[in-house]
Amino acid sequence: MKTSIMNYRIVMTLFLGIIILGVQSAVAASDEGPAHKLVIQVSTDDVRTQKIALNNAVNMQKALGQDNIAIEVVAYGPGLSLLTQKSTQAKRVSSLAMQDITFSACGNTMKKIASKSGNMPVLIDGVQVVPAGVMRIMELQEQGYAYIRP
């Protein structure tokens, strides 16, 4: 009889352990965020290329679903023009920022522009500033983001 009770306790302990591990795995998986991650580099002031970058972001979000992909557009050098209020794409960038597409402006580029012109570039609402655009792309790739440059 004691052996049966001992076997029952061992089986129940193993069963509970498996359940706990399953719950922990599910929680860990949900903390990882979306299944897909994409970083898009914009380093040119060519308006056509900038539009293509935005189109790429929109198309990926439509294809995979807004909740299934994290997208960050990183602009530096001449590409910073996309994220300023003077951009021909300003309204579109602002709208996309409200649709879970992250926009990051290079702080180094902003400082360089300010030192030459005497004025800091005015960014579109919803755009964040990162210390360095290239460094941000590297960090995102280290976090598993796929990289494209239109």
- CATH fold, domain 34-148, is Hypothetical Protein Ychn; Chain: A, (3.40.1260)
Residue-level pLDDT at 32: 73
CB 20: neighbour CB atoms within 10 A? 10
Residue-level pLDDT at 18: 56
What's the rounded Cα separation, in Å, for the pair 68 and 81?
29
> How far is CA 85 from each of CA 35, 72, 119, 124, 134, rounded to the nearest angstrom?
32, 19, 14, 5, 22
Residue-level pLDDT at 109: 98
Residue-level pLDDT at 33: 87
What's the rounded Cα separation, in Å, for the pair 133 and 81?
13
User: Domain coordinates of the chain in residue numbers?
Assistant: 1-32, 34-148
Q: Would you give per-residue pLDDT tens digits along the chain (150 residues)? A: 566 665 656 655 545 445 554 545 444 445 578 999 999 999 999 999 999 999 999 999 999 999 999 999 999 999 999 999 999 999 999 999 999 999 999 999 999 999 999 999 999 999 999 999 999 999 999 999 999 999
